[in-house]
Amino acid sequence: MASNQQTRPGIGELAQDSASGRVGVVMGEVGGRVQLRPVRGGREWDAMPGNVVRLSAREELSARLAARNGNSRVGL
């Protein structure tokens, strides 16, 4: 595999839906679509597999930090 190719993120990993720009946790695949759930929890959404991309280490850290900060503001 070439170094510029990325494998699709697995269940439980963070990924971005490039069509919407949203970041979520990969929950599974149903009916040919990848199901993602927001990092802070909430309702899943479906994304086309070709639009689901793995986050870089920096992007993942940023997404997790934003979720943690959001949770601390609401007392979680």
Domain spans in the chain, listed from the N-terminal domain onward = 14-66
CB-based contact 45:12 (threshold 8 Å): no
Confidence label for 4 from pLDDT (cuts 50, 70 and 90)? very low
Instruction: Return the pLDDT at 26.
Output: 97
With 60 as the cut, is the pLDDT of residue 1 above it? no
The SS3 of residue 62 is helix
User: In this predicted model, what pLDDT tens digit does every residue of 45-66 receive, in sequence order?
Assistant: 999 999 999 999 999 999 999 9
Rounded CA separation 55/26 (Å): 12
Q: Residue 51's closest CA among 20, 27, 28? A: 20
Of 1 and 53, which is predicted with more confidence?
A: 53
Global pTM value: 0.81
